[in-house]
Amino acid sequence: MESLANTAIHLPRLFHFQSSKHQTLKARTVGCSRLEDHNMGALQESLESSNCKLEINHNDIWKLFNDAQRNILYLNKQRLMAVEELNKIQSEKQMLLARIEQLEGEKQANVVKGSVAKPDDLSICCELLLRIDSMVVSGLIHKENALNLRRLVMDNKTSIAGTFYDINQRKDTELLTDIRNFSDESKREGFHIVHICTEMEPLVSIGSLASYVTGLSHAMQRKGNLVEVILPKYSCLDLDEVHGLRKVGIEVHSYFNGHWHGNIIWTGVVYGIGVTFIEPLYHSEFFNRDRIYGYKDDFERFTYFSRASLDYLVKSGKQPDVLHIHNWETAIVGPLFWDIFVNQGLGGTRVLFTCHGFNSQCLVHPDKLALCGLDPPRLHRPDRLQDNIKTHLVNILKGGVVYSNKVLVVSSILSKEMAIHSSSHGLESTLAIHKEKLSVAPYGLDNTIWDPSKDKFLPRNYSGDNLKGKAVCKMVLRQRLGFTGHASTVVGCIFSEVSDINLENLKAAVWLALRKGAELVFMGPRKIPSINPALESFQKELKDENARFINEYDEALSHLILAGSDIILCPSFHDPVLQIPLKAIKYGAAPVVITFNGGGFRSTNSSQYIINAFANMSLSQALDQIENDPLIWNQKIKDGISNDFSWDGECYDIHSAAYMSVKNL
């Protein structure tokens, strides 16, 4: 059949060439025509089947093509993600290398723990002065001799350090002989200041007092003054930070609760500052606790320490120019000094009282004053320690104000009038009476850590004269956080306390910034379970690619956020612990206050520059100025970076003037 079908297909051509055989072919043609009809149907059916298969193959090809396109898009997305991850790793590598370089620098500068670098001149002088104290306490020399030796050391800091570089290898008797043989070549010009306080960075740091004592002491010593610190010897102290720690003896006794109690005296040097630690023997439980503050017997604990500090000064023969006391915990030093100690060789000493806030005052029954040797009836009077509201009690903080020669309120937001009338917490009448000796001083910024021109955490440094590095920091920050859009403004927020945050105000700020096309990054101070649910809930509600929430404080990232942001949202300009407003200005980011516990946005502070540049600037106004007035904005940022907010700036000037004023009384 297949042969016949093939023959039938070619019959017309065959018929055309063989017409002479017409009859025979005609009969065959009739028979084959039926066969041809049959085969033509089969052929049509075959063609239709082929067309169907072609159509199916065509659909398969399009499906494969679409699949290939999707695979290509997926691979491109993965490639972009890999590039972003690589950039992030490279950025982290840069910061890690910078951190390693910083640590190496600190090691060379004899700052880190366990450093074996040669002590600097100031550290040697501090150790030498502490050894002189030890000689007095042990009876090797008299107080009068010690006074002359101290003056000799303070008058010849640089030259004497070269002579006594191996001080720890010399015995007291040998050291005394060498000091006496040392010639006096110059006159002393600076102040001798002794802080009696309860905190000092890095040994024990609870609030703003610790960084204040250390930062101010460094600044004063850099300008040629001698500064010493007296602290309780808490059981929680990190004594690895103390260079040359040594026990002086137990001969120093202090009066408390009708008896004289022995104290172990320890001395050492912390970051170039001479530190004395007082460890009670009989009342050893006073400072052998889990916390520093917050106990029912805090008055007894810190009153004992204050009295013991003064007994130690008398025993050692020290005659400082200024006793610098702090907050209510050591405010009792004022009444003790003027009622008991001023005539025990301290006639040339004056008292400066620093208050970091009037809200914590310590009210106790007057009879408790007798524990440290004070006379309750003499002090329980309206013009002395009697509380202005609860008149049956005495107010220890008030005693510091009344019995000091100078009062400094350390604050970034208060003026003198505001301190007296708005933030006095019941002490308004007392502060008004002592108004002439009241001043306000700002906190200082540690420019050895917070300075964009030499910050080791930044991928590129910059200054007010050259802002190119800030643009690089902004780019690296956006890469680190995974921002892929084209936003021109970055808004950061590094908040200090969970309780400061009002979510409604925070949300309002975030939505406003996002509507104006900004990118936002928020960082908390540390990992706190209570903060996570609120912020995580807000993050889920937000669902925006232009906001990042970082619930755990990261030191390196905090530097990068400050450097890479255009605006920093602040709960308040009064931020003595983290000092975010000052850091923001120094790093070229505008500090804008979002009133977490009030309505709307506002900003106030005492620095004239900050008032002129940022007071009453809302977030909306800041974003608009960046967009519409870039020249004015850039000049404002340059001016901010160029300002000196360090301890050596305005802060030093005000404190130096205060020391001078009390010394000249």
β partners of residue 278: 232, 265
CB 196 within 8 A of CB 325: yes
Span 343-355, mean pLDDT? Answer: 94
Residue 390 phi/psi, 5-degree rounding, is -95, 85
Within 13 A of 619's CA, how many CA atoms are on the CB side? 30
CATH topology of domain 468-645: Rossmann fold (3.40.50)
Residue 279's pLDDT is what? Answer: 94
Helix (H) or strand (E) holding 274: strand 273-280
Q: Is 137 exposed, middle or buried (0-12, 13-18, 19+ CB in 10 A)?
A: buried
CATH topology of domain 190-444+653-663: Rossmann fold (3.40.50)
CB 588 within 8 A of CB 504: no
Residue 243's pLDDT is what? Answer: 87
Mean pLDDT in the chain? 80
CB 296 within 8 A of CB 210: no
The torsion angle over the Cα atoms of residues 108, 113, 115 and 120, rounded to 10 degrees, is 70
Span 214-229, mean pLDDT? Answer: 92
Same fold for the pair 190-444+653-663 and 468-645? yes
Per-residue pLDDT reduced to its tens digit, 246-280 = 888 767 899 999 999 999 999 999 988 999 999 99
Per-residue pLDDT for 499 more than 80? no
Residue 11's pLDDT is what? Answer: 38
Per-residue pLDDT for 93 more than 90? no
Residue 455's pLDDT is what? Answer: 94
Per-residue pLDDT for 477 more than 60? yes
Enumerate the domain spans of the chain.
Answer: 2-93, 119-189, 190-444+653-663, 468-645
Q: Is 58 exposed, middle or buried (0-12, 13-18, 19+ CB in 10 A)?
A: exposed
Per-residue pLDDT reduced to its tens digit, 568-611 = 988 777 777 778 888 999 999 999 887 644 333 333 333 556 66
Peptide bond just before 335 cis, omega within 30 deg: no
Within 13 A of 158's CA, how many CA atoms are on the CB side? 5
Q: pTM for the complete prediction?
A: 0.72
Greater confidence (414 vs 406) lies with: 406
Own/partner long-range contacts of 282-289 (Cβ < 8 Å, ≥24 apart):
283/256, 286/232, 287/232, 287/233, 287/234, 287/235, 288/234, 288/235, 289/234, 289/235
HEC profile for 30-49?
A: HHHHHHHHHHHHHHHHHHHH
Residue 609's pLDDT is what? Answer: 66
Q: Which two tokens stand for residue 153?
A: 């050391």
CB 301 within 8 A of CB 287: yes
Per-residue pLDDT for 366 more than 90? yes
CB 530 within 8 A of CB 498: yes
Per-residue pLDDT for 637 more than 80? yes
Task: Report the amino acid identity of residue 547.
Answer: A
Greater confidence (393 vs 636) lies with: 393
Return the minimum-mean-pLDDT range out of 156-170, 177-191, 283-297: 177-191
Cα-based distances in Å from 355 to 59, 204, 224, 418, 508: 83, 18, 25, 14, 35
Q: Where are the alpha helices (DSSP H) in 284-362?
A: 298-316, 333-336
Greater confidence (91 vs 453) lies with: 453
Per-residue pLDDT reduced to its tens digit, 62-74 = 777 777 877 888 7
Greater confidence (45 vs 507) lies with: 507
- pLDDT tier for residue 54 given thresholds of 50, 70 and 90: low
CB 191 within 8 A of CB 225: yes
Distance CA 593, CA 572 (A): 6
Q: Which two tokens stand for residue 589?
A: 């980011």
Looking up tokens 């002393």 gives 188
Q: How does DSSP assign 150-205, residue by residue?
A: HHHHHHTHHHHHHHSTTGGGS-HHHHHHHHHTSPP-S---S-EEEEE-S-BTTTB-
Span 188-201, mean pLDDT? Answer: 89
Per-residue pLDDT for 403 more than 80? yes
Q: Which two tokens stand for residue 461?
A: 């440094």
